[in-house]
Amino acid sequence: MNMNLATNNSMQEDCLVANIYAPDTDETNLPVVVYVHGGAYQVGFGNWLTPKTLVQSKRIVAVTFNYRLGVHGFLCLGTEDAPGNAGMKDQVALLRWVKKNIAEFGGNPNDVTIDGYSAGSSSVDLLMLSESTKGLFHKVIPESGANVGVWSVQIDPVENAKIYAKALNFSNVDDIYALEEFYKTASIELLLTDTFMDRYDSTFLFSPCVERETRKEVFLKEAPVDILKRGKYRKFPVLYGFANMEGLIRALYFNNWKDRMNEKFSDFLPADLQFENEEQKEELAKSIKKFYFDDKPVLNETFVAYINYFSDVMFTYPTLRSVKLQVEAGSDSIYLYEYSFVDNFVSRLVNLPEFKDYFKDINLDSVSGANHCAQTWALLDDNNLFVIPNEIVSDDTEKMRSLMRELWLNFMTTGKPVPKGSSLPDWPSVGADWSPHMSLGKNIKLGGSLLPERARFWDAIYEKHYRTPAPPPPPRARRYNEL
Protein backbone atom coordinates (compact mmCIF):
# COMPACT_ATOMS: atom_id res chain seq x y z
CA MET A 1 0.00 0.00 0.00
CA ASN A 2 1.26 3.47 -0.89
CA MET A 3 0.47 6.41 1.38
CA ASN A 4 1.31 9.96 0.26
CA LEU A 5 2.40 11.87 3.34
CA ALA A 6 2.66 15.34 1.80
CA THR A 7 0.39 17.85 3.54
CA ASN A 8 1.48 21.01 1.76
CA ASN A 9 0.17 21.17 -1.79
CA SER A 10 2.71 23.86 -2.68
CA MET A 11 5.66 21.50 -2.15
CA GLN A 12 7.81 21.27 -5.23
CA GLU A 13 9.69 18.13 -4.19
CA ASP A 14 6.59 16.04 -3.44
CA CYS A 15 8.27 12.67 -2.96
CA LEU A 16 7.47 11.56 0.58
CA VAL A 17 5.56 8.36 -0.13
CA ALA A 18 5.36 5.42 2.30
CA ASN A 19 5.17 1.83 1.09
CA ILE A 20 3.66 -0.39 3.78
CA TYR A 21 4.18 -4.16 3.84
CA ALA A 22 1.80 -5.94 6.21
CA PRO A 23 1.69 -9.74 6.57
CA ASP A 24 -1.38 -11.83 5.80
CA THR A 25 -2.27 -12.49 9.42
CA ASP A 26 -4.86 -11.56 12.03
CA GLU A 27 -2.04 -10.72 14.45
CA THR A 28 -1.85 -7.10 15.55
CA ASN A 29 0.66 -5.01 17.46
CA LEU A 30 3.53 -6.52 15.47
CA PRO A 31 7.04 -5.03 15.64
CA VAL A 32 7.72 -2.51 12.88
CA VAL A 33 10.82 -1.98 10.76
CA VAL A 34 11.32 1.22 8.77
CA TYR A 35 13.87 0.89 5.96
CA VAL A 36 15.89 3.89 4.75
CA HIS A 37 17.27 3.37 1.25
CA GLY A 38 20.82 4.08 0.17
CA GLY A 39 22.31 5.81 -2.86
CA ALA A 40 24.99 8.19 -1.51
CA TYR A 41 22.27 10.73 -0.63
CA GLN A 42 22.06 11.41 -4.37
CA VAL A 43 20.01 8.62 -5.97
CA GLY A 44 17.61 5.82 -5.08
CA PHE A 45 14.04 5.36 -3.87
CA GLY A 46 12.15 3.51 -1.16
CA ASN A 47 11.43 0.33 -3.08
CA TRP A 48 14.93 0.02 -4.53
CA LEU A 49 15.04 -3.13 -2.41
CA THR A 50 11.93 -4.53 -0.73
CA PRO A 51 11.25 -6.43 2.53
CA LYS A 52 8.67 -8.81 1.08
CA THR A 53 10.32 -12.03 2.27
CA LEU A 54 10.93 -10.63 5.75
CA VAL A 55 7.27 -9.67 6.03
CA GLN A 56 6.16 -13.11 4.85
CA SER A 57 7.57 -14.42 8.13
CA LYS A 58 4.46 -12.82 9.70
CA ARG A 59 6.65 -11.45 12.49
CA ILE A 60 6.86 -7.79 11.42
CA VAL A 61 5.25 -4.92 9.53
CA ALA A 62 7.68 -3.06 7.25
CA VAL A 63 7.77 0.45 5.78
CA THR A 64 9.90 1.85 2.97
CA PHE A 65 9.74 5.43 1.69
CA ASN A 66 11.29 8.14 -0.47
CA TYR A 67 13.05 11.25 0.78
CA ARG A 68 14.54 14.27 -0.95
CA LEU A 69 18.02 13.72 -2.38
CA GLY A 70 20.96 15.64 -3.79
CA VAL A 71 20.67 19.42 -3.80
CA HIS A 72 16.96 19.35 -2.98
CA GLY A 73 17.58 17.19 0.06
CA PHE A 74 20.93 18.39 1.35
CA LEU A 75 21.74 21.94 0.26
CA CYS A 76 22.89 23.56 3.50
CA LEU A 77 23.45 27.32 3.39
CA GLY A 78 22.32 28.25 6.90
CA THR A 79 19.63 30.59 5.55
CA GLU A 80 15.94 30.52 6.46
CA ASP A 81 15.03 28.92 3.12
CA ALA A 82 18.01 26.54 2.92
CA PRO A 83 18.93 25.65 6.50
CA GLY A 84 19.99 22.12 5.51
CA ASN A 85 18.95 18.51 6.07
CA ALA A 86 15.65 18.63 4.18
CA GLY A 87 16.11 14.96 3.32
CA MET A 88 16.70 14.02 6.96
CA LYS A 89 13.65 16.03 8.00
CA ASP A 90 11.65 13.99 5.48
CA GLN A 91 12.85 10.90 7.33
CA VAL A 92 11.75 12.36 10.66
CA ALA A 93 8.35 13.24 9.16
CA LEU A 94 7.96 9.64 8.00
CA LEU A 95 8.79 8.31 11.47
CA ARG A 96 6.25 10.67 13.02
CA TRP A 97 3.66 9.42 10.55
CA VAL A 98 4.50 5.81 11.45
CA LYS A 99 4.14 6.63 15.15
CA LYS A 100 0.68 8.05 14.54
CA ASN A 101 -0.68 5.62 11.94
CA ILE A 102 1.09 2.25 11.87
CA ALA A 103 -1.35 0.62 14.31
CA GLU A 104 -3.95 0.78 11.54
CA PHE A 105 -1.78 -1.67 9.58
CA GLY A 106 -1.18 -4.08 12.46
CA GLY A 107 2.06 -2.50 13.67
CA ASN A 108 3.13 -1.50 17.16
CA PRO A 109 4.15 2.20 17.26
CA ASN A 110 6.06 1.51 20.46
CA ASP A 111 8.28 -1.18 18.92
CA VAL A 112 9.93 0.36 15.86
CA THR A 113 13.32 -0.56 14.39
CA ILE A 114 14.99 1.78 11.92
CA ASP A 115 17.19 -0.04 9.41
CA GLY A 116 19.18 1.45 6.55
CA TYR A 117 21.78 0.46 4.01
CA SER A 118 24.67 2.58 2.68
CA ALA A 119 23.47 6.21 2.91
CA GLY A 120 20.42 4.80 4.66
CA SER A 121 22.80 3.25 7.20
CA SER A 122 24.42 6.62 7.79
CA SER A 123 20.91 8.07 8.05
CA VAL A 124 19.64 5.77 10.79
CA ASP A 125 22.91 6.27 12.68
CA LEU A 126 22.32 10.04 12.52
CA LEU A 127 18.63 9.72 13.43
CA MET A 128 19.81 8.10 16.66
CA LEU A 129 21.67 11.31 17.58
CA SER A 130 18.98 13.86 16.68
CA GLU A 131 16.87 15.48 19.37
CA SER A 132 13.99 15.65 16.86
CA THR A 133 13.46 11.86 16.87
CA LYS A 134 12.63 11.34 20.55
CA GLY A 135 10.14 8.50 21.02
CA LEU A 136 9.98 7.56 17.34
CA PHE A 137 12.00 4.31 17.34
CA HIS A 138 13.51 1.78 19.71
CA LYS A 139 16.18 -0.26 17.88
CA VAL A 140 18.69 0.62 15.14
CA ILE A 141 20.34 -1.39 12.33
CA PRO A 142 22.96 0.51 10.30
CA GLU A 143 24.17 -1.67 7.40
CA SER A 144 27.43 -0.37 5.86
CA GLY A 145 27.57 3.28 6.86
CA ALA A 146 28.17 5.26 10.06
CA ASN A 147 27.32 8.66 11.50
CA VAL A 148 31.00 9.67 11.80
CA GLY A 149 31.88 8.69 8.22
CA VAL A 150 33.67 11.12 5.91
CA TRP A 151 30.70 11.17 3.51
CA SER A 152 27.98 11.15 6.19
CA VAL A 153 28.14 14.81 7.24
CA GLN A 154 29.42 17.73 5.16
CA ILE A 155 32.64 19.26 6.46
CA ASP A 156 31.98 22.70 4.92
CA PRO A 157 28.50 22.79 3.36
CA VAL A 158 28.65 26.34 2.00
CA GLU A 159 31.94 25.60 0.25
CA ASN A 160 30.39 22.45 -1.24
CA ALA A 161 27.48 24.49 -2.56
CA LYS A 162 29.93 26.95 -4.14
CA ILE A 163 31.95 24.16 -5.75
CA TYR A 164 28.93 22.69 -7.50
CA ALA A 165 27.47 26.06 -8.49
CA LYS A 166 30.74 27.02 -10.17
CA ALA A 167 30.78 23.67 -11.95
CA LEU A 168 27.34 24.60 -13.29
CA ASN A 169 28.73 27.94 -14.56
CA PHE A 170 27.29 30.16 -11.83
CA SER A 171 29.90 32.71 -10.77
CA ASN A 172 28.36 34.90 -8.03
CA VAL A 173 28.98 32.28 -5.36
CA ASP A 174 30.19 34.61 -2.61
CA ASP A 175 26.76 36.23 -2.30
CA ILE A 176 24.91 33.66 -0.18
CA TYR A 177 21.48 34.91 -1.26
CA ALA A 178 22.42 34.87 -4.94
CA LEU A 179 23.74 31.35 -4.42
CA GLU A 180 20.49 30.36 -2.73
CA GLU A 181 18.45 31.86 -5.57
CA PHE A 182 20.54 29.99 -8.14
CA TYR A 183 19.76 26.66 -6.52
CA LYS A 184 16.09 27.59 -6.07
CA THR A 185 15.59 28.41 -9.73
CA ALA A 186 17.93 25.93 -11.46
CA SER A 187 16.17 23.21 -13.41
CA ILE A 188 16.13 19.67 -12.09
CA GLU A 189 18.00 18.60 -15.22
CA LEU A 190 20.81 21.05 -14.45
CA LEU A 191 21.04 20.03 -10.80
CA LEU A 192 21.29 16.37 -11.79
CA THR A 193 24.32 17.02 -14.02
CA ASP A 194 26.57 15.21 -11.54
CA THR A 195 25.98 12.60 -8.82
CA PHE A 196 29.47 13.04 -7.29
CA MET A 197 30.20 9.32 -7.10
CA ASP A 198 33.78 9.66 -8.38
CA ARG A 199 35.25 12.22 -5.98
CA TYR A 200 38.78 11.36 -4.85
CA ASP A 201 38.15 12.45 -1.24
CA SER A 202 35.42 9.84 -0.55
CA THR A 203 32.62 12.39 -0.20
CA PHE A 204 29.50 12.87 -2.30
CA LEU A 205 29.35 16.67 -1.83
CA PHE A 206 25.70 16.95 -0.73
CA SER A 207 24.83 15.02 2.42
CA PRO A 208 23.54 15.83 5.93
CA CYS A 209 25.09 18.78 7.73
CA VAL A 210 25.47 20.37 11.13
CA GLU A 211 22.91 23.18 11.11
CA ARG A 212 23.04 26.63 12.60
CA GLU A 213 20.08 27.74 14.69
CA THR A 214 17.26 29.27 12.64
CA ARG A 215 13.56 29.72 13.29
CA LYS A 216 12.95 26.24 11.87
CA GLU A 217 13.39 22.87 13.56
CA VAL A 218 17.01 21.73 13.54
CA PHE A 219 17.89 18.12 12.80
CA LEU A 220 21.58 18.08 13.78
CA LYS A 221 22.98 20.75 16.10
CA GLU A 222 26.46 19.32 16.66
CA ALA A 223 28.97 17.13 14.89
CA PRO A 224 28.26 13.43 15.54
CA VAL A 225 31.70 12.87 17.11
CA ASP A 226 31.03 15.63 19.65
CA ILE A 227 27.58 14.23 20.50
CA LEU A 228 29.01 10.74 20.97
CA LYS A 229 31.89 11.95 23.12
CA ARG A 230 29.50 13.84 25.41
CA GLY A 231 27.25 10.78 25.58
CA LYS A 232 24.14 12.96 25.64
CA TYR A 233 21.97 10.97 23.27
CA ARG A 234 19.41 8.19 23.61
CA LYS A 235 21.00 4.74 23.77
CA PHE A 236 19.35 1.91 21.82
CA PRO A 237 20.10 -1.70 20.96
CA VAL A 238 22.14 -1.49 17.74
CA LEU A 239 23.06 -4.19 15.22
CA TYR A 240 26.17 -2.78 13.51
CA GLY A 241 28.32 -4.12 10.73
CA PHE A 242 29.71 -4.15 7.24
CA ALA A 243 30.85 -6.46 4.46
CA ASN A 244 34.49 -7.50 4.42
CA MET A 245 35.24 -5.92 1.01
CA GLU A 246 33.10 -2.79 1.07
CA GLY A 247 35.72 -1.05 -1.07
CA LEU A 248 34.61 -3.05 -4.10
CA ILE A 249 32.22 -0.12 -4.56
CA ARG A 250 35.33 1.69 -5.89
CA ALA A 251 36.44 -1.17 -8.17
CA LEU A 252 35.15 0.42 -11.37
CA TYR A 253 37.34 3.50 -10.77
CA PHE A 254 40.53 1.48 -10.36
CA ASN A 255 41.82 1.76 -13.93
CA ASN A 256 41.17 5.51 -14.01
CA TRP A 257 42.60 6.21 -10.56
CA LYS A 258 45.65 3.98 -10.15
CA ASP A 259 48.10 6.24 -12.00
CA ARG A 260 46.90 9.30 -10.12
CA MET A 261 47.21 7.44 -6.81
CA ASN A 262 50.83 6.67 -7.65
CA GLU A 263 51.54 10.27 -8.64
CA LYS A 264 49.82 11.97 -5.69
CA PHE A 265 48.23 9.65 -3.15
CA SER A 266 47.38 12.63 -0.93
CA ASP A 267 44.57 13.56 -3.33
CA PHE A 268 42.77 10.42 -2.13
CA LEU A 269 42.94 11.12 1.59
CA PRO A 270 39.51 11.45 3.22
CA ALA A 271 38.15 14.99 3.29
CA ASP A 272 37.74 15.05 7.08
CA LEU A 273 41.47 15.23 7.74
CA GLN A 274 43.31 18.54 8.18
CA PHE A 275 46.97 19.48 8.20
CA GLU A 276 49.21 22.32 9.27
CA ASN A 277 50.87 22.42 5.87
CA GLU A 278 51.27 20.53 2.62
CA GLU A 279 54.44 18.82 3.81
CA GLN A 280 52.61 17.26 6.75
CA LYS A 281 49.84 16.08 4.44
CA GLU A 282 52.28 14.45 2.02
CA GLU A 283 54.13 12.77 4.87
CA LEU A 284 50.93 11.22 6.21
CA ALA A 285 49.85 10.17 2.72
CA LYS A 286 53.15 8.35 2.33
CA SER A 287 52.70 6.46 5.60
CA ILE A 288 49.12 5.48 4.71
CA LYS A 289 50.16 4.24 1.29
CA LYS A 290 52.92 2.18 2.90
CA PHE A 291 50.47 0.69 5.42
CA TYR A 292 48.19 -0.60 2.66
CA PHE A 293 50.52 -1.14 -0.30
CA ASP A 294 53.78 -1.97 1.51
CA ASP A 295 56.00 0.25 -0.66
CA LYS A 296 54.48 -1.19 -3.83
CA PRO A 297 52.77 0.97 -6.45
CA VAL A 298 49.02 0.86 -7.05
CA LEU A 299 48.87 -1.79 -9.76
CA ASN A 300 46.69 -4.70 -10.80
CA GLU A 301 48.79 -6.86 -8.47
CA THR A 302 47.83 -4.67 -5.49
CA PHE A 303 44.14 -4.43 -6.33
CA VAL A 304 43.08 -5.98 -3.00
CA ALA A 305 45.09 -3.33 -1.12
CA TYR A 306 43.21 -0.68 -3.12
CA ILE A 307 39.91 -2.28 -2.09
CA ASN A 308 40.96 -2.49 1.56
CA TYR A 309 41.96 1.18 1.60
CA PHE A 310 38.56 2.38 0.41
CA SER A 311 36.79 -0.16 2.61
CA ASP A 312 38.45 1.38 5.66
CA VAL A 313 38.17 5.04 4.67
CA MET A 314 34.51 4.91 3.72
CA PHE A 315 32.92 2.16 5.81
CA THR A 316 34.83 -0.09 8.17
CA TYR A 317 36.79 2.45 10.20
CA PRO A 318 33.88 4.90 10.59
CA THR A 319 31.73 2.03 11.87
CA LEU A 320 34.38 0.85 14.31
CA ARG A 321 35.03 4.42 15.44
CA SER A 322 31.34 5.01 16.13
CA VAL A 323 31.02 1.67 17.95
CA LYS A 324 33.96 2.53 20.21
CA LEU A 325 32.61 5.99 21.01
CA GLN A 326 29.15 4.62 21.77
CA VAL A 327 30.43 1.88 24.06
CA GLU A 328 32.60 4.42 25.87
CA ALA A 329 29.48 6.59 26.25
CA GLY A 330 27.65 3.76 28.02
CA SER A 331 25.89 1.84 25.24
CA ASP A 332 25.84 -1.82 26.29
CA SER A 333 23.57 -3.41 23.67
CA ILE A 334 25.60 -3.09 20.47
CA TYR A 335 26.09 -6.22 18.39
CA LEU A 336 28.93 -6.11 15.86
CA TYR A 337 29.42 -8.31 12.79
CA GLU A 338 31.44 -8.68 9.61
CA TYR A 339 29.67 -10.22 6.63
CA SER A 340 31.99 -12.19 4.36
CA PHE A 341 29.81 -14.77 2.64
CA VAL A 342 30.39 -14.92 -1.12
CA ASP A 343 30.24 -18.56 -2.29
CA ASN A 344 32.54 -17.48 -5.16
CA PHE A 345 29.82 -14.96 -5.95
CA VAL A 346 32.07 -11.95 -6.62
CA SER A 347 34.44 -13.78 -8.95
CA ARG A 348 31.54 -15.27 -10.85
CA LEU A 349 29.73 -11.95 -11.05
CA VAL A 350 32.70 -9.97 -12.40
CA ASN A 351 33.22 -12.68 -15.01
CA LEU A 352 29.87 -11.79 -16.55
CA PRO A 353 30.30 -10.29 -20.06
CA GLU A 354 29.64 -6.71 -18.95
CA PHE A 355 32.50 -6.84 -16.41
CA LYS A 356 34.93 -9.32 -17.92
CA ASP A 357 36.89 -6.91 -20.13
CA TYR A 358 37.23 -4.36 -17.37
CA PHE A 359 38.81 -6.81 -14.92
CA LYS A 360 40.74 -8.88 -17.48
CA ASP A 361 44.17 -7.93 -16.09
CA ILE A 362 43.31 -8.55 -12.44
CA ASN A 363 43.69 -11.92 -10.72
CA LEU A 364 40.11 -12.40 -9.59
CA ASP A 365 41.03 -15.45 -7.53
CA SER A 366 42.42 -12.99 -4.97
CA VAL A 367 39.19 -10.99 -4.92
CA SER A 368 36.97 -13.20 -2.83
CA GLY A 369 34.95 -10.98 -0.58
CA ALA A 370 31.55 -9.50 0.04
CA ASN A 371 30.77 -6.26 -1.79
CA HIS A 372 29.29 -3.05 -0.37
CA CYS A 373 25.99 -3.83 1.39
CA ALA A 374 26.21 -7.53 0.53
CA GLN A 375 24.40 -8.31 3.78
CA THR A 376 21.48 -6.14 2.65
CA TRP A 377 21.24 -8.09 -0.60
CA ALA A 378 21.04 -11.26 1.47
CA LEU A 379 18.17 -9.85 3.51
CA LEU A 380 15.97 -7.97 1.07
CA ASP A 381 14.41 -8.69 -2.31
CA ASP A 382 15.73 -6.94 -5.40
CA ASN A 383 12.35 -5.94 -6.87
CA ASN A 384 13.64 -6.94 -10.35
CA LEU A 385 15.81 -3.82 -10.45
CA PHE A 386 19.16 -5.58 -10.37
CA VAL A 387 18.53 -8.95 -11.91
CA ILE A 388 21.22 -11.48 -10.97
CA PRO A 389 21.27 -14.57 -13.20
CA ASN A 390 19.81 -17.59 -11.40
CA GLU A 391 22.76 -19.76 -12.42
CA ILE A 392 25.11 -17.87 -10.07
CA VAL A 393 22.83 -18.10 -7.02
CA SER A 394 23.58 -21.38 -5.24
CA ASP A 395 21.76 -23.36 -2.57
CA ASP A 396 24.39 -22.17 -0.09
CA THR A 397 23.49 -18.58 -0.92
CA GLU A 398 19.82 -19.28 -0.25
CA LYS A 399 20.71 -20.92 3.07
CA MET A 400 22.74 -17.85 4.03
CA ARG A 401 19.84 -15.58 3.18
CA SER A 402 17.59 -17.65 5.42
CA LEU A 403 20.08 -17.42 8.30
CA MET A 404 20.52 -13.66 7.88
CA ARG A 405 16.79 -13.11 7.89
CA GLU A 406 16.46 -15.13 11.09
CA LEU A 407 19.15 -13.05 12.82
CA TRP A 408 17.67 -9.74 11.69
CA LEU A 409 14.10 -10.74 12.55
CA ASN A 410 15.30 -11.82 15.99
CA PHE A 411 16.83 -8.39 16.53
CA MET A 412 13.77 -6.55 15.21
CA THR A 413 11.49 -8.49 17.56
CA THR A 414 13.65 -8.92 20.68
CA GLY A 415 16.55 -6.44 20.47
CA LYS A 416 19.03 -9.33 20.26
CA PRO A 417 20.20 -11.13 17.10
CA VAL A 418 20.49 -14.35 19.12
CA PRO A 419 17.91 -14.31 21.90
CA LYS A 420 17.85 -16.71 24.82
CA GLY A 421 16.78 -20.20 23.76
CA SER A 422 17.99 -19.84 20.17
CA SER A 423 19.91 -22.69 18.54
CA LEU A 424 22.31 -20.18 16.96
CA PRO A 425 25.77 -19.46 18.45
CA ASP A 426 25.71 -17.06 21.39
CA TRP A 427 26.30 -13.44 20.32
CA PRO A 428 27.29 -11.10 23.20
CA SER A 429 27.35 -7.32 22.89
CA VAL A 430 30.60 -5.67 21.80
CA GLY A 431 33.14 -3.80 23.90
CA ALA A 432 35.19 -0.69 23.13
CA ASP A 433 37.97 -2.95 21.80
CA TRP A 434 35.64 -4.17 19.00
CA SER A 435 35.38 -7.59 20.64
CA PRO A 436 33.54 -9.84 20.31
CA HIS A 437 32.09 -9.74 16.82
CA MET A 438 30.15 -12.29 14.80
CA SER A 439 31.74 -13.52 11.60
CA LEU A 440 28.96 -14.12 9.08
CA GLY A 441 30.60 -16.22 6.39
CA LYS A 442 30.17 -19.74 5.12
CA ASN A 443 30.27 -20.62 8.80
CA ILE A 444 28.83 -18.36 11.47
CA LYS A 445 31.22 -18.05 14.39
CA LEU A 446 32.04 -15.66 17.20
CA GLY A 447 35.37 -13.89 16.82
CA GLY A 448 37.50 -11.54 18.88
CA SER A 449 38.43 -7.95 18.06
CA LEU A 450 37.38 -6.91 14.54
CA LEU A 451 40.18 -5.43 12.40
CA PRO A 452 42.05 -4.02 15.43
CA GLU A 453 45.30 -3.18 13.61
CA ARG A 454 43.54 -1.20 10.88
CA ALA A 455 41.19 0.50 13.35
CA ARG A 456 44.01 1.59 15.66
CA PHE A 457 46.04 2.84 12.71
CA TRP A 458 43.19 5.19 11.77
CA ASP A 459 42.42 6.04 15.40
CA ALA A 460 45.89 7.55 15.72
CA ILE A 461 45.43 9.55 12.52
CA TYR A 462 42.00 10.90 13.42
CA GLU A 463 43.10 11.73 16.96
CA LYS A 464 45.66 14.12 15.48
CA HIS A 465 44.17 15.31 12.20
CA TYR A 466 40.37 15.13 12.43
CA ARG A 467 38.50 18.06 10.96
CA THR A 468 35.14 18.38 12.70
CA PRO A 469 32.12 19.20 10.50
CA ALA A 470 30.98 22.77 11.09
CA PRO A 471 27.66 24.54 10.54
CA PRO A 472 27.35 27.30 7.95
CA PRO A 473 28.32 30.75 9.22
CA PRO A 474 25.47 33.20 9.89
CA PRO A 475 24.59 34.87 6.58
CA ARG A 476 25.07 38.60 6.47
CA ALA A 477 21.93 40.70 6.76
CA ARG A 478 20.34 41.65 3.46
CA ARG A 479 20.61 45.25 2.44
CA TYR A 480 17.33 47.10 1.86
CA ASN A 481 17.77 47.15 -1.92
CA GLU A 482 18.20 43.35 -1.91
CA LEU A 483 14.79 42.71 -0.32
Quote the pLDDT of residue 385. Answer: 53
Catalytic (active site) residue 118: yes
pTM attached to this predicted model: 0.93
* Percent of the chain whose pLDDT exceeds 70: 89
Contacts of 130 (CB under 8 A, 6+ apart): 88, 92, 219, 220
Q: Calculate the dihedral angle through the C-alpha atoms of 355, 192, 171, 474, rounding to the nearest 10 degrees.
A: -110
Q: With CA atoms as reference, report the closest residue to 307 among 354, 346, 360, 353.
A: 346
User: How many degrees, rounded to 5, is the angle at CA 47 between CA 42 and CA 52?
Assistant: 150
pLDDT value of position 151: 98
Indicate the SS3 state at residue 420: coil
The predicted pLDDT at position 177 comes to: 95
**Residue 8 banded pLDDT, cuts 50, 70, 90:** very low
Per-residue confidence (pLDDT) for residue 422, from 0 to 100: 94
Q: In what order do the strands lie in the sheet with 17-21?
A: 2-4, 17-21, 61-65, 30-36, 107-117, 139-143, 238-243, 334-339, 437-440, 444-447
Distance of alpha carbon 79 from alpha carbon 205, whole angstroms: 19
> Over the stretch 163-181, which tens digit does the pLDDT of each residue have?
999 999 999 999 999 999 9
Cα 281 from Cα 481, distance rounded (Å): 45
> Looking at the predicted structure, is the pLDDT value of residue 342 above 70?
yes
When pLDDT is cut at 50, 70 and 90, the band that residue 12 belongs to is very low
pLDDT at 11 (0 to 100): 32
- 339 forms bridges with which residues in the sheet? 243, 440
| pLDDT 10s digits, 349-366 | 555 555 666 666 777 667
Is the pLDDT assigned to residue 214 strictly greater than 90?
A: no
Model confidence band, residue 4 (pLDDT cutoffs 50, 70, 90): very low
* Residue length of the chain: 483
Highest-scoring range by mean pLDDT, 10-24, 75-89, 345-359? 75-89
Mean pLDDT of the chain: 91
Rounded average pLDDT over 362-378: 84
pLDDT digits (tens, 9 = 90+) for 232-285: 999 999 999 999 999 999 998 999 999 999 999 999 999 999 999 999 999 999
CATH architecture for the domain at 2-244+312-341+394-475: 3-Layer(aba) Sandwich (3.40)
What distance in Å separates the CA atoms of residue 113 and residue 106, rounded to the nearest whole number?
15
Q: Is residue 93 within 8 Å of residue 107, measured between CB atoms?
A: no
Task: Name the active-site residue from 118, 121, 132, 207.
Answer: 118
